[in-house]
Each structure stands twice: as structure tokens, then as C-alpha cells.
Chain A
């Protein structure tokens, strides 16, 4: 079996589930939008304060939506022993992880792309001249977040207290990703400082690589009881 094909089929299965159930889409869209509006409302009328908080608010909204998305990505698997069945096929555990990661990342990336213009409008921020780098930050930040979220969601999937345990376990690990993402996008949106943003992006690439190698290598311990 070509492992890459297995990855694509697992991702396709998860995305197909989401397009039909729309459970995660509705929850995350609503939650992200509410977070952005409430934070903007709390910050008030000060335009410079609002602009400065724009990227932070975006990543807060994405982080909380990402937890919902990751937890939901195993929900369908747990019903009727479907994940058990999937894991008895001759597919490497790592391929299952990467497949679920791919689906989750694409979902988060799409959510980020939708929330980006909403954030700019709500917070009165200007579109940066180096906008491709902002998209790269969004892609790398959501990838890093999804790497951790899918891994820990798998770890807690069979636990009764999974909804409360998942954020408690994953947020301390995901903090470096969030900080680097907020700093990189803040440098681009706030001051158009490409050099500063690139520094944070290099760090983000490093975190993503480390987490990708670690999570892929030890995922089989997560799914074998």
C-alpha cells in the first residue's frame, strides 16, 4: 500500500464526514466569530489599541476553534467502533495520523482564511504589503497547532473527561506555536516589519518540524492501548 495514498484516503474520509455533518463547521465558525466580536467590544473604541490587538484576537479565536475541531475529528471515529476497524487495516499508524492531521489542518487553514478579513474589518487593521508572508504565517501556525491538537485529541479520545483534558494537556505544548504565530503576524500587520516576521517564521518552521517528527513517530503508542 502506498502510504501517501492511505494518508489521502484517511483525510478524504474525515473531510467527507465534515461536509456531510457540518458539526465542526457550524461550531467553530460561530465560536470564532463570537470571540472576535467580544474581544473587539472589550477593547473599545481606541483604534490603535484595536489594530494592535488584531492578530492576537485572530489567533485566540483560531486556537479555541482548533480545539473544537480536533476533538470533533475523533468523534465520528469513536461511534460504533469505526476507528478500531480502521486501525485493523494494514496501514501504518503514522499514515492514519498524517491523514487526520491533513484534514484538520485544511479545515483550520480555511477557517483562518475566512476569519482573516473579518478580523481586519472588525479591528480596523490595514492589509499588509507583504501579505503572502501573512498567509505563510497562517499556514505554518495552523499546521503547528493541528500537529499538537490531533495528537492529543487521539490521546484523550477514549477518556470520559476528554473535553476538559484536551485543552489542559495541549495548550502548554502549543504555546510556542501560538506565540510565534502572533508575533510573526503582528510584525506584518502592525508595522510591516518583514525581517522581524521572518525571524519568527523561522522559529515556527522549527517548531513545526520538531512536532511533526515527534508526533508521527510516537502516534502508535497513542492508538494502541
Chain B
């Protein structure tokens, strides 16, 4: 395994009950690469992201994030990652600003209100910064997820259907943020159904099919 591998999977297996979802995945993603992950509904894309985010345990094999095993060094893994959930992952009874404060406290990053205001302005939530999330549309919740992603200052972004629920401007913003992330050598793994947009952004595109990974274009390198 190269030292700079952001993600390394070795025979990774995961099932739910008797149903095997991931059937021995092998993969290495170099640091700073943007990788799109495609697959039908139920193919296991979210399962793979949750395994890498230390939310699920593998049934077999190993998954390493920057050399740290997701099972035995989960805390070290979580120091390096940030996630974007399908529905944004926000609390309905907190405001956008309170989410950023909470994240900053939990991640031990600066709790800087001016920076939060600028960040929320960047994702188009300046006017809703102090409104409760329960008043947000699903697209606004996703935009808050983007703000939290940026604030996390992580080395690996794990994005689950990042384009979903966003309007056209929001999708353009997301694409711009991913391009910026690549510029900072942040690694991005995004599970998505947006083939055209994602393939334009990605260094490599993978397909998860019948529990196994394959490159969409064999000439690419993750």
C-alpha cells in the first residue's frame, strides 16, 4: 500500500443478515483524488461510505483511511474525515450557526462567529443563519451540510448523493467546492447518481455492482 493512500480496502466484506452487500472490495485511492462512486439503488454505496466513516463495522477484510484501520483506530479516522449525508444530517431544532458552533466544539476547530457568517453566506444561507433548521427546505439543509463540510477542514470528504435536493445553483456550488477541495489535496469520495456532473469532476469513476467494484473507464486511476 502506498504511504499516501487516502483510502485502502483489502477484501472488504459487509452484509446485513444473510445478504452480502460488499463482497470483498479491493481499492486504493491516492490522496487528493476525486472519485465518483456509481451503482444502482441498494448496491452498497452508502454502506461503503458508512464503513469508511466508522459507522459500520466490516464483516470481513480491512478498510484503512490514511493508514488507520476503521475498526481499531476509529478515533484517528474521524479526525481526518468529514461527511455529507443524503438529507444533510442536521438537527431540526438548532440553527445553522448553532450547528457550526457545535461542530467546531466537537472537532476542536476555531469557534469563530465571523467565519461562520462568511461560510453560511458562501453556501447561500446568510439570511437563514439564525433560523431553526425545521424551517429549511431540503435544499437548504443540504447547503448547511456543505457549510459544515467546509468548516470541518478535513482531509477526506465522504459525500452521499451530494447533488440530491440541491437546485441548479446549489449543484454548481457543490461542483466548485469539490474542485477547490481537490486544489487543497483533499480526497473526495462521492456516491452519486449524477453521472455527467460527477464524471466531469472526478479523477476516476467506480461502479459498485453485485458487491464488487470496477472502474467505469479502465484508463482512469483512483
Contacts and interface: CB of A to CB of B under 8 A. Distances in A.
Interface of A: 1-2, 5-6, 9-10, 13, 16-17, 20-21, 76-77, 79-82, 84-92, 224-225
19 contacts: A5-B105, A13-B91, A16-B93, A17-B91, A20-B93, A79-B92, A80-B85, A80-B90, A82-B89, A84-B83, A85-B83, A85-B89, A88-B54, A88-B55, A88-B78, A88-B82, A89-B106, A89-B107, A90-B106
Nearest to B148: A85
B85 A81 contact: yes
A21 B141 CA distance: 19
A84 B51 CA distance: 12
B34 interface: no
Contact of A20 (B57, B81, B106, B132): B132
B86 interface: yes
Contacts of A92: 75
Contacts of B50: 84
B94 interface: yes
Report the 6 A-B pairs with minimum CB-CB distance, sorted nearest first: A85-B89, A81-B85, A80-B87, A1-B108, A89-B106, A90-B78
Nearest to B51: A225
B interface, how many residues as a size bin? 20 to 34
A219 B91 CA distance: 22
A90 B81 CA distance: 9
Contact of B91 (A9, A76, A89, A90): A76
Interface in B54-97: 54-57, 74-75, 78-79, 81-83, 85-94
Q: DSSP majority for the A interface?
A: helix
Interface in B125-162: 132, 141, 148
B98 interface: yes
A84 B103 CA distance: 13
Given A224-B54, A224-B56, A6 B91 contact: no
A99 to B, nearest CB: 10
